[in-house]
Each structure stands twice: as structure tokens, then as C-alpha cells.
Structure 1
């Protein structure tokens, strides 16, 4: 279904195990008129396709010789946004979600794409580098790498587990600002409200986080004395792929040391720091939006 006011077409696609997955397609007409590779956006753990709306509009409508428009795909993973919640909660796993991404690509006949992965989305891209590397024409990793800092994971667990139902988007905006403002001094009140509208949904007159609460359960097993296994072997599979890595200036998920080691292992990697932002940076804010567009424009 095409929504001309918002600039995207909605699709509902079946996963291999029968769930209905929701996705947005921006610049659908470009699938017939452009030979440029599409952009596929993968959100974070509790995020969804709305997280990329402003960036997707920019990438699909910017029509200059330097930044020709691209078809952009934005997915709601299972258990998020308008996709089905999984009755088997054990299936909220990276390999299953990576398989869903490949199923969507097969349905849309996408053989290769430029992938943007925010946080969990970037971890999925690490897996795809082993599962189907050819599909990755280029990757943009948004505040994620092969080492995930425990401090950041514990922070995510705390604020997701404590997320209450709220009376309005304005109240959701204030809560987000209260929890995250120290890491995001660059954001304005309008940015916080945009974030609230991306991450919350109205249900029964209240505004609640737009994901299955069961997604938080695996985080309960985290122990700061037992670090999460690293993914350096999978990251090394990305060394031959054009890559851009964005680190929030105040990130507690992607450390400066990991960021620098990624640059050492991938010498052609474009490394960018998002000023005034933490985990995970909002990509449509400047200067990030222009930096992303310039990187994408180099991929044919």
C-alpha cells in the first residue's frame, strides 16, 4: 500500500516460519528506473522501521549529481513495530532475525544492497558476512562492533525493563529525555518528540514501547563478570567490503578502543564520530546525514 503523504510503500511479508513481517519501501519506483543498489536499514533491539524515516526520505528523494536517489528498505523485525510477535520467545535470536532479513531480500528480489545496521542491526550484519557475504555491497555500522560493552548492555536492560505505559507522546518524550539526555546533548525537544513517536505506540489509550516485552528477557542473564563473546572473526569477514562505522561521542556500547581496532583491521573503513550523541546516534541529524549520503554515493 502506497502512502503518498509519507513517501513510502508498506509491505507485509511472510517469514520462513509463518510470521508476518512489516517493512517500508521508499522510492519504490527506483526499482524499475535506477540501476543503483538499494539501501536496507536494520534497527536496534527495541527499535523499528520508523527509526529510519527521515533518513530514508533523504536518501530516496535527494536527486543531485553528487547524491542520486536510492531505493530504501526499512524492516520491523519479528516482535517489533507492525510485525507479528513470535509465540515462541526463544526465537528472538540474531540468527533467526538474519534469516528474516534474507527472506525479505528474496521476496523483493534484492541480490545485493548497501546495509545500515543500528546496534543489533549491525550484529546481524556481522552474521550475514558469514551466511551470505555477497549480498553485502557495503555496510554502515551505527554504534556497534564486534565487542559490545557490558556497561551499555546493562543500561539498556535497566531502561527497557522499567519502561512504563504513558499518557501521551509528550510524556514519552520527557521520559526518553530524562533517561538519555546526558548522553545526547545534541538533541532538541523536537528530536526527543520524534524519537518518542518512533519508539512508542498507542494501545488502549496509553503509549507503550512498540516491542514484545519478551525481547528483554535474554538481557536478564547478563552478568558483568562474564563478558559477551566477541565477534572479531565475523568482523574480519567484512574487511573486503566497503564499510563506514559511526560511533556516538558518548557511546557506552562501542568503546573508543574497539572503534580504533576496527579501523586497524579494516584500513579502508570510514570512521565517523557523532558529536553530542550516545547509543545509538540518530542518523538523520547533521552532519551524519550528509556523511552517510556521501559514503553511499561511492557505492555503485
Structure 2
């Protein structure tokens, strides 16, 4: 807790949303632009804890780093209207958060769902963005990977104790994440679960996972190449998991062809979505920030 401050603020429709700020520097002060981190579908600000510690430290660039919980995740309030768990609504929440926290322009890091939000944000409020890091996401989402996420989130599987949780996650994801060590699996445990009467429980509204249940092999998926063009005006770092099933290599290649300012980095030994503090990734991100913003 000493490494970050906690902030609560209202959404446009009155929900209580949460964010944390690392670095203890005024967002209105001069110097380096802040970094805003946006998590995946059911994930939260804790996913970025280790990365934020690095980026806010002198060795990582002494940045101010803001990590957000979308509505229904982490410490943000659950929404009684489940239809509001959507990318357009969450994009508006990101804009609201930036206004509430005094952020006029920032570098954005978007993991999976967070990267899709950035596609919309670039269209709706381009002046807010200085540069973009996309973590294992692009304009084309592979159906097989999305179906795997649907099944994982809705299979009801959960660890019985906190002691069992790291091994539980490793059993589920270990083949796609051979690069992770014991500490990394513990970090993932602390990011995914909250304490519920002494037991680990997924830290999101289960209605978010249930939205994926109607998805099948015939469900049409959106084409986001047009929104991706809006990202063409910014320096872009794309991180792709070596073992990902969500972002095809062909899509990453086409993104690079269409975006002359894009840099591509592979997260070796990781699937979807890579942990950004593992291996050289945190330094890759720090160097990208140093050269672009």
C-alpha cells in the first residue's frame, strides 16, 4: 500500500469506480507523461502491480502510473444493469477516470479487453493519447482463443484454499506459460482472486463471464481494422505472447504493415495474456516510453 495511493470516483451513471496511482507525483506536474493501464476482460488493476512498481521507480523512468478497475471488477462497484458491461460503456468510464484524476494526456497500456477499449478511445478522444502499448490484442480476435476464454471463465473451477491457488492456476495455464516461476504464479493468484470468508474467489461480477456463453463457432466477430486505423497516429508497441491463441501471427504482421510506427515484441514462454513484468518485457516497455513520451 505504501507504493500507491487509492482513489474512488463516480462514473457518469453513478457507480463507484476505483483506481490506484503509483509514483506519488502530481499528475499536473511537468516532466514525463503518466501511464494509464487497462486490464483484460475480467481482470483488474492488480495485474499491473509489478510493472507499475518498475515504471514508477528511477530505474524504470520514474513515471506516474495509473491502474484502473473497470465497473464490476476489483474494487469498482458491480453494476445492477449487466448490459453496461460493454466496451463502449467502459471506454466512457476510462475517459471519466482520466478527468477525475486530472489526466489530460497519457501513454496507455491495454491488455486484451483494455486494448479493444483503446481502439475506441482513439476514435472518441484522440487528444488523450500520446502513445499505446497493446498487450496481445489486435483488430482480429481468433475464435478458438475466445472460445477457450469462454470455457475457462464459465467452468466453475476455483481453488479451495489460498495455498492451493498458485498450483491450481499452473494446472490450468502452465502449458501456455512455461516462462512463469513460482513467484509469478503467486502474483497471478493475488491479481485474480479476492478473499471471501478466508477463501479465494474470482474478483469480478460473474455476469461478465456469462456474456460469453452464447458465443459459438457461427457467431460473427467484429472487424476492427477501421478503428485500428485511428491508432496509426501514435507510436505503438505490440506485445504478442509466443503461445497466444487470441492474436494470430498473421494479424500481428498485418498490423505492422498498416502501422509504420509499430514495434513488435514477442513474450517468449507466455500465452494470453502475457504478464508484463516477466522477463525483459518491463524494460522493453520502459525503453518504448523513454523514446516516445
TM-score interval w.r.t. the shorter chain? over 0.9
Q: How far 1:171 sits from its partner (Å)?
A: 1.6
Q: How far 1:32 sits from its partner (Å)?
A: 5.4
Partner of 2:43: 47
The answer as to whether partners of 1:164 and 1:208 remain within 8 angstroms in 2 is no
2: distance between equivalents of 1:167 and 1:87? 28
Q: 1:196 aligns with which of 189, 211, 222?
A: 189
Partner of 1:60: 56
The answer as to whether partners of 1:163 and 1:209 remain within 8 angstroms in 2 is no
Partner of 2:239: 246
Aligned counterparts, 1:197-276, within 5 A: 197-276=190-269
* 1:159 has 2:155 as partner: no
Q: Which SS does the other structure have where 2:174 is aligned? A: helix
* 1:84 has 2:77 as partner: yes
Q: How far 1:75 sits from its partner (Å)?
A: 0.3
Q: How far 1:172 sits from its partner (Å)?
A: 1.8
1: distance between equivalents of 2:58 and 2:206? 37
Q: How far 1:168 sits from its partner (Å)?
A: 2.2
1: distance between equivalents of 2:200 and 2:157? 9
* 1:13 has 2:4 as partner: no
Partner of 1:182: 175
Q: 2:130 aligns with which of 118, 134, 137?
A: 137
2: distance between equivalents of 1:30 and 1:88? 35
Alpha-carbon RMSD across the aligned residues, in angstroms, is 1.2
What does the per-residue CA deviation read over 1:41-93, in whole Å, with 9 as the maximum and x for residues that have no partner?
00001110000000001001124xxx531100000100000110000001000
Q: 1:284 aligns with which of 266, 269, 277?
A: 277
Q: Which SS does the other structure have where 2:292 is aligned? A: coil
* 1:107 has 2:100 as partner: yes
Change (3 A) 1:150 1:245: same
Q: Which SS does the other structure have where 1:110 is aligned? A: coil
Q: 1:29 aligns with which of 25, 31, 44?
A: 25
2: distance between equivalents of 1:130 and 1:33? 27
Q: Which SS does the other structure have where 1:270 is aligned? A: strand
4+ runs deviating over 6 angstroms: none
What does the per-residue CA deviation read over 1:195-249, in whole Å, with 9 as the maximum and x for residues that have no partner?
0111001112221111000001221121212341110000011111110000000
What does the per-residue CA deviation read over 1:239-266, in whole Å, with 9 as the maximum and x for residues that have no partner?
1111000000000000001000000000
Aligned length: 293
Change (3 A) 1:32 1:91: closer
